[in-house]
Amino acid sequence: MGRLRTTSTEQAGKGNGWVPPPLPKAPVLPPPRRRRRPALLALAVAMVVLGALGAAYLATSLGQTSPVIAIAREVPWGQTITAADLVEARIPVDAALEPIPLAQRDQVIGLVAATTLTRGSLLTRDALTDQRFPAPGQQLVGVGVSPVQLPTTALRPGDDVLLVPLVAGSAPTAGVTGASQVVEATVVETGSPGTDGLRVVDVLVDSADGPDVAARAAAGLIAVVVVAGE
């Protein structure tokens, strides 16, 4: 009563060795075909070629340099250019830069600095002039001043100053003769202090003021005041 009954199919299979047929295999699908796009392939090749050409052009451009004139040492405004002031520099060709070519070096020597030229800077045409000092209508005067008649801040070539006349026999800080006699001047060069403690400052003044400035400077009756330049 407790035994399970087998079906007639199972009994028949066990009896005559019948084996169920294998299940059919799933069909093998061919791999998807890649669609070739000639236009995209040509574009990729063109980009690679253009990139290579651009890199080659950039390398060639950076490798091209031009010899130009540079400043070997500081040249104050108004000073004559000498061979020792110049040095060769090589820079990449750039249309935005207009330095003087090295081949024109001999033409530069003997010209005057139109502004203070700093060491290592490239020399350009607008930094030079053929006008010698003093210019027509001006006179160059050396003014000897004591430390109390001159600012502690160093004067530089091109600085605009006022030459204030002092009253003879008065202290340098008192007794000026009047604002109407103050003379406008431009500093050309400042010398080192002498053994007497005086420092000579070369200034450009109008020709009409030159003799009076020279006379007062010889008597030590001038104080120098720096003013704002243009």
Where are the chain's structural domains? 65-129, 138-226
Query: At 44, is the secondary structure helix, strand, or coil?
Result: helix
Report the first-to-last Cα separation within the chain, whole angstroms.
127
> What does the pLDDT read at residue 17?
63
Which stretches of 66-140 are DSSP H helices? 105-108
Name the class of domain 138-226. Answer: mainly beta
- pTM, rounded to two decimals: 0.55
In CATH, the architecture of 65-129 is Alpha-Beta Complex (3.90)
Are 67 and 90 in contact by the 8 Å Cβ rule? The answer is yes
Length of the chain: 230
As given in the structure block, the two tokens for residue 104 are: 């024109």
Are 189 and 125 in contact by the 8 Å Cβ rule? The answer is no
As given in the structure block, the two tokens for residue 201 are: 């400052």
Counting as low any pLDDT under 50, the low residues of the chain are 4, 12-13, 171-180
Which stretches of 188-227 are DSSP H helices? 210-218
Bridge partners of 205? 139
Could you count the other beta carbons within 10 Å of the beta carbon of residue 166?
20
Are 172 and 166 in contact by the 8 Å Cβ rule? The answer is yes
Which residues are CB-neighbours of 189 under 8 A, at least 6 positions away?
Answer: 76, 78, 79, 157, 201, 202
Give the Cα separation of 221 and 144 in Å (integer). 9
> What does the pLDDT read at residue 65?
79
Q: What is the DSSP letter of 134?
A: S
Q: b/e for 128-162, b at 16 or more Cβ within 10 A?
A: bbeeebbeeebbebebbbeeebbeeeebebbbebe
